[in-house]
Amino acid sequence: MSVFKYDKDVDGIVTITMDMTGPVNAMNEEYRTAMSETVQKLQAENDLSGVVLASAKKVFFAGGDLNDLLAAQPGDEDEFMAILESTKSDLRALEKLPVPVVSAINGAALGGGFEICLSTNYRIAYNHKSVQLGLPEVSLGLLPGGGGIVRMVNLLGLQNALPYLLEGKKVDPAKALKAGMIHETVASVDELLPRAKAWILENKDNEAAAIQPWDHKGFKIPGGNASSPKLAQVLMGAPAMLSKTTRGLLPAPEKILDCAVEAARLDFDTALRVESRGLAYLATTPQAKNMITTFFFQMNKINGGASRPKGVPPQETKKLGVLGAGMMGQGIAYVSAKAGIEVILKDISVEAAEKGKAYSEKLLDKAISRGRMTEEKKAEILSLIKPTANDEDLQGCDLIIEAVFENVALKNKITASTEKYLCENGVWGSNTSTLPITQLAEGSSKPENFIGIHFFSPVDKMPLVEIICGEKTSDIALAKAYDYTKQIRKTAIVVNDSLGFFTSRTFGTYFDEGVRMVVEGAHPVKVDNLGKAIGMPVGPLTVHDETSLELSRKAMETWEEMGVKGKYGEQNALEEMIAFMIGENGRGGRHHGGGYFEYHADGSKTLWPGLLEKFYKEDVVISDQDIKDRLLFRQVIESLKCLETGVLRTVADGNIGSIMGIGAPVWTGGFLQFVNTYGLEKFQARCEELAAAYGERFTCPAIVAKKIAAGETFQ
């Protein structure tokens, strides 16, 4: 029995209900067999008046099988191409049936799922926010290879189609209707099939209803083809604009643009073959392997609760105390209230706490101005935040998050004086970016209920939270922190305790290595630009200016008080730079009047001349490749050390944490995944070269040799 249920009614309308054996409908071998058999049966039908494509799953169709795509290797292109051409021929046959074909979209239709919809004559969707439509393949290093590029260009025109293809935009049915991606919406799932059949009957005498727009004689692409004067001008600058975004590190957007232009230049069927060649190429690239592994499989693993303790019942947070209404505290209060949690926002004065609450009002007003928030909802959210200077208002909190300065004595003092207000079995969380949780928990009477909850700034925008378990942290406390993070719609990684944990520790090596090269005599601007060239959001000196040199100075003082020396390995270069920039010149970073750069009123910046005068040596030559590898490998090596020593609990936590918390280049799939496609032996050899030339901090961690010996990769 086919996994595509075939039902013909008295009006001659066949309903094909896709109900594949897995949890979702996916474009795999089972699908290809079922679709091929179904199309052949439809072609042989007598008295056929129309076809409705429906789904028995909550998700209409999930897209391509990423396991198949992950398995594709260089050399498999011909076989992969043949599969693509076979898949496309069935969809082409479906849209060329002599009767209208309607897709009844009851749930999300993304990637291959939406490509199936595009091959039908009429598209009706259930008008609900859970129904997402689009072609997000670019986010996995791929392109829509089931006809998505060609059909979108022919449907919307090249210029209108590009944002959906290059950005992977996903839209709800209302927006899809407005854009012309679908034809109609219905208010309930129950209305889908009746409405689809009604439309077929309404158009039974309309021959044009069974013909796709691009198959009509004399069809012209909306907005003109690629050679039209208007589009030709746009396309001249498109590659340069795209390169500015991708920095030449992501092949998928460039290949998508190329295929889209060809779709606007060639005949329909030839353009489909060009598109197939594009996907056959991309599927074998290391960038696609990295992005599929991390952004799909590992992200699903983390979001599925792999890091949450098993067997612990749900730990809902109902009343949250936030201590400190500064930049971090006010952000935590905002995202928590927005999630419907009662928040007590405490600072040393009511005025300071009120100022923290005003931050939420500002963000909500901005959302209202953009049509994303109502005044009623704003009032509801703000009513959940109570600013106060009284400890007693914390009474009954089931979770308190302390968000004060990075000082052990201060944090311990606050813990000792206020944790008594927690409800029974309430949990204490410290929003610290570097200080060991085990040491901070010494200030608590219940260290088993003490945990680190590290937010990233700005809290309202950054999607990650790093949860840190101390030596005595219980499973209940971990579950509480994890469930709270899910309540506020953040992604949580869970790590074990150490100075700097995973993200701060690894992130620090980036600007540390940049500083080292400047002290060695390399040109600061070159070092900064090559940081961006590897795919980091900004250069190492820029990011150090933003996070502030002053913060590094205070951190080093704290580590010294704790008896910790050389957090990033050989510390001399960073110490020398801090002493020169702050001690001699009072330059503590962007928000302290300037640091490596001088910042101007128009938003521009220029290098501070004193940096060149002090450090730059024209006769010092460090190759571009060495600079790029030093900046990248330092972070990868630190990530490997975190995994080796148990700070990182899983590879998935390391990859997701490095992408979402540190800004690891997207093409790497995260710092640990990078090693897999770079090649473990090759990585080990490159580490040896860098260590010989630049120091033992580049020594390859022993865990790599162990993986090589076992014939394993980092999974």
Cα angle 45, 50, 52; round to 5: 110
User: Tokens representing 393?
Assistant: 């208002």
Looking at residue 568, its pLDDT comes to: 43
Residue 110 carries which side chain, given as an amino acid letter? L
CATH number of the domain located at residue range(s) 319-498 in this protein: 3.40.50.720
- Tell whether domain 504-646+679-710 is in CATH 1.20.1440.230: no
Lookup result for tokens 């710092």: 671
The answer to whether the beta carbons of residues 323 and 402 sit under 8 Å apart is: yes
Query: In 10 A of CB 638, how many CB atoms?
Result: 26
Sign, Cα dihedral of 324, 326, 329, 330: positive
Chunked into runs of 10 residues, the chain (715 residues) has average pLDDT values of: 92 98 94 97 96 98 90 91 96 98 98 98 97 98 97 97 96 98 98 98 94 96 88 83 91 97 96 97 96 96 95 97 97 98 98 97 96 96 98 98 92 95 97 94 96 96 97 98 98 96 96 97 98 97 94 83 58 88 96 95 95 96 98 98 98 98 97 98 98 97 98 97
Give every CB contact of residue 270 below 8 A, 6+ residues apart in sequence: none
Looking at residue 571, its pLDDT comes to: 53
Give every CB contact of residue 711 below 8 A, 6+ residues apart in sequence: none
Looking at residue 569, its pLDDT comes to: 45
The answer to whether the beta carbons of residues 161 and 152 sit under 8 Å apart is: yes
The answer to whether the beta carbons of residues 16 and 52 sit under 8 Å apart is: yes
Looking at residue 554, its pLDDT comes to: 86
Cα–Cα distance for residue pair 427/33, rounded to 1 Å: 54
How do beta strands 133-134 and 109-110 pair? parallel
Q: Where in the chain is the domain with CATH 1.10.1040.50?
A: 504-646+679-710
Lookup result for tokens 């520790």: 505
> CB burial class (10 A; 0-12, 13-18, 19+) of residue 663?
middle
Q: What is the largest CA-CA distance in the chain?
A: 89
- Candidates 138, 116, 123; CA nearest to 31 is 116
Burial 121-157, CB ≥16 within 10 A → b, else e? bbbbbbbbeebbbbbbbbbbbbbbbbbbbbbbbbbbb
Looking at residue 493, its pLDDT comes to: 98
Looking at residue 565, its pLDDT comes to: 58
Q: Where in the chain is the domain with CATH 3.90.226.10?
A: 4-284
Give every CB contact of residue 187 below 8 A, 6+ residues apart in sequence: 127
Question: 50: part of which helix (H) or strand (E)?
Answer: strand 50-55
Which CATH code of 3.90.226.10, 1.10.3720.10, 3.30.70.100, 1.20.1560.10 fits the domain covering 4-284?
3.90.226.10
